[in-house]
A and B are shown apart, each in its own frame.
Chain A
Amino acid sequence: MLTRTWRKFCSSRIGRSIFRVGLPGSDLERARVGVSSFLLHIQPVKVQSRSLKFRTTFGLGLILLYLFLILIVTGVLLMFYYVPSPELAYRSMKDLEFVVTAGMLLRNMHRWAAHLMVLGVVLHMCRVFYTGAYKPPREFNWVIGVVLFLLTLGLSFTGYLLPWDQLAFWAITVGANISSYAPFVGEKVRFVLLGGNVVGPSALLRFYVLHVVLLPAGMAFLVAIHLWRVRKDGGLARPAEPDLIEEEFAEFELPPEKTYGLMELARGSSAAVGTAQEDTVFSWPHLVFREILLLMLTVAGVLVLAIFWNAPLEEFANPAHPPNPAKAPWYFLGLQELVAHSAFWGGVVVPTLLLVALIMLPYIDTKPDGVGVWFSSQRKTAILIFSICLITMTVLTVIGSVFRGPNWDFTVPWHPNVEEH
């Protein structure tokens, strides 16, 4: 019934003016729908079968895109009740919890989607690294990815302050102070970021503007470029010589009605037109359907988290009474752990080196080996170095998160005397 109604609508005068093709019935229409619809033309008309396999990417990039969309939608809705001024900010959190219909649900969704996004960006970066997908011609897209990573952290960090409770206030105080360890500019950056020397009303306003305008705008812009480049660089990175998948190749036959026009020019030595051997399928419906499915799964996952686990809200921020230990947001706890050992090495040298190395990675590791293959044996050294850094940062973050108690002393989470402040 749904299909029939839709077809009927699409074939009507108004329907045709909106949806040029309607529900495609033939391959020709499947190709046409891909180029004539704004939303669908972001996809190529045809995609590699292997790109659709879940284990190729685990859908991480798309999940991130969806999380970003969830964050925008829930964030915009939350803005209808939020006021960026200390007392009122805290009050609006309480209002969301106690008097706004579905307010707590939306706040929870926003919170969990944000945490998942930080986690997702790291996993996505690992995926791209371990499949060698940053190699030419995709070097610069990796750099954009690193910037997107930083933007994600920035968005999460600025959003962390907005509830103006003890957790927010002290996490931002600690986090902002980590930044002041940077040589020469550290203090100035902190001053401008906070709009003062301490976290106060002006810091709240600045973080709010950054969180709802500047950073999301930058993020959306770079996401667009990131996706555009994925498309222009010929889709997902894949091994230079496609593996011939016996069974599928054997079954392949050219459909008699198959006619193509030149849809686009992609980068590379040859246009991907007419190369019959390629194991490709039409984006509509194979890719589009999977995308919609993944969207539903992502939303469902966030909803489950949001329904069963409430976002934290502690006491109203009290500058006179810091919790012990005062911790930065969890994704900075690796850094805080480093800073606790050595302010200069942990706060300046290591993070700078790591960041520079991340950005420079595609220009240092230029060998075209192992592209599109998980843990290629040709890239042992690179994989080893990256894994060591990754594991170290993970271990440090875990230590900072759960093994650090009052006075930053080592503790265990199951320790009976650990009293939550």
Chain B
Amino acid sequence: MQLMLGWWAAVFAISATVAASVRFMFPNVLYEPSLRMKAQRPDDYPDGATFFPEHRFFLMKNGKQFRAVSATCTHLGCTVNRIADGSGFRCPCHGSVFDASGAVTSGPAPKALAWYPVTLSRDERLVIDMTRQVSPEEQLVV
């Protein structure tokens, strides 16, 4: 009985240690571009697409309307290029092609490019939230 108690305590000690070690492995801060990105003011960007290489997305400006589309190919994560005439995106790795709304037109990509919500912060800067996805139609109007 005494011994059993001891073994249970040992099981408790070992599980606590393992749990703490596993939690230790999950970092609380990341030295990578933040998934909630605060960009400049709306006026600071030209009409058309602006590429953010660190965060890998295109900011689309059309007059007063803003949208953001991921530049990460849904196939295996390469960075897609925008086709010069703005008709869509092409992945250089395995040849997936996406149309202007991000939908797959050809190639191995399994699903459309992600669109991120663009909002305006209280100090009037654009905020792109890469933790969420929205439909391609949703846009910020300033």
- A interface residues with partner B (beta carbon < 8 Å): 1-3, 73, 77, 80-81, 95, 99-103, 105-106, 292, 296, 299
Choose among B4, B10, B28 the residue that contacts A99 (Cβ–Cβ < 8 A). Answer: B28
Say yes or no for B84: interface residue by CB 8 A criterion.
no
Query: Residue B21 contacts which of A2, A3, A77, A296 (CB distance < 8 angstroms)?
Result: A77
Q: What are 21 of the A-B contact pairs (CB < 8 Å)?
A: A2-B4, A3-B4, A3-B7, A73-B21, A77-B25, A80-B24, A95-B29, A99-B27, A99-B28, A100-B27, A100-B28, A101-B20, A101-B23, A101-B26, A101-B28, A102-B20, A102-B21, A102-B23, A292-B10, A296-B10, A299-B13
| Interface residue? B11 (CB, 8 A) | yes
Interface residues of B (CB under 8 A from A): 4, 7-8, 10-11, 13, 20-21, 23-29
In the bound complex, residues from chain B placing their C-beta under 8 Å from that of A101 are 20, 23-24, 26, 28
Q: Which residue of B lies closest to A106 (CB)?
A: B24
Q: Within the assembled complex, what's the spacing in Å between the Cα atoms of A81 and B21?
A: 13
Main secondary structure of the interface of A (DSSP, over half): helix
Closest-by-CB residue of A relative to B23 is: A101
Residue of A nearest to B24 (CB): A102
* B88–chain A nearest beta-carbon distance, Å: 41
The answer for the CA separation of A296 and B11 in the assembled complex, in Å, is 12
Contact A100 B7 (CB under 8 A): no
- How many contacting A-B pairs (Cβ < 8 A)? 37
Measured between C-beta atoms, what is the minimum distance from B51 to chain A in Å?
29
A100 touching B8 in the complex, CB below 8 Å, given contacts A95-B29, A296-B13: no
For residue B31, give the distance in angstroms from its CB to the closest CB of chain A. 9
A73 to B21, CA, bound (A): 10
A102-B20, A296-B13 given; 19 more Cβ-contact pairs under 8 Å = A2-B4, A2-B8, A2-B11, A3-B4, A73-B21, A77-B21, A77-B25, A80-B24, A80-B25, A81-B27, A99-B27, A99-B28, A101-B24, A101-B28, A102-B21, A102-B23, A102-B24, A103-B24, A292-B10
Complex Cα–Cα for A80 and B21 (A): 11
In the bound complex, residues from chain A placing their C-beta under 8 Å from that of B26 are 101
Q: Which of A100, A105, A296, A299 is the most central at the interface, judged by chain B CB atoms within 10 Å of its CB? A: A100
In the complex, the 3 A-B pairs of residues with the closest C-beta atoms, listed nearest first: A99-B29, A102-B24, A99-B28
The CA of A77 and the CA of B4, in the complex, are separated in Å by 31
Residues of A within 8 A of B24 (CB): 77, 80, 100-103, 106
B1 to chain A, nearest CB (A): 11
CB distance from A67 to the nearest CB of B (A): 16
In the bound assembly, the distance between CA atoms of A100 and B28 in angstroms comes to 6
| Residues of the A chain whose Cβ atoms lie less than 8 Å from the Cβ of B10 | 292, 296
A2 to B23, CA, bound (A): 27
Alpha-carbon distance between A124 and B138 when the two chains are bound, in angstroms: 72
Q: Which residues of B contact A77 (CB under 8 A)?
A: 21, 24-25
In angstroms, Cα B63 to Cα A180, docked, is 72
- Complex-state Cα separation, A100 to B10, whole angstroms: 26
Report the bound CA distance from A299 to B21 in whole Å: 15
Q: How many Å lie between the Cα of A101 and that of B8 in the bound state? A: 26
Q: Which residues of B contact A292 (CB under 8 A)?
A: 10
The complex places the Cα of A299 from the Cα of B20 at a distance, in Å, of 15
Q: How far is the CA of A73 from the CA of B22 in the complex (A)?
A: 12
Closest to A105 in B: B20
Closest to B19 in A: A102
B2 CB to closest chain A CB (Å) equals: 12
Across the interface, name the chain A residue whose C-beta is closest to B5: A2
CB distance from A88 to the nearest CB of B (A): 10
| Chain B residue, CB-CB nearest to A95 | B29
Q: How far is the CB of A106 from chain B (nearest CB, A)?
A: 7
Contacts of B27 in A (CB 8 A): 81, 99-100
Given the complex, which residues of B lie within 8 Å of A80, measured CB to CB? 24-25
How far, in angstroms, from A338 to B20 measured CA to CA in the complex? 44
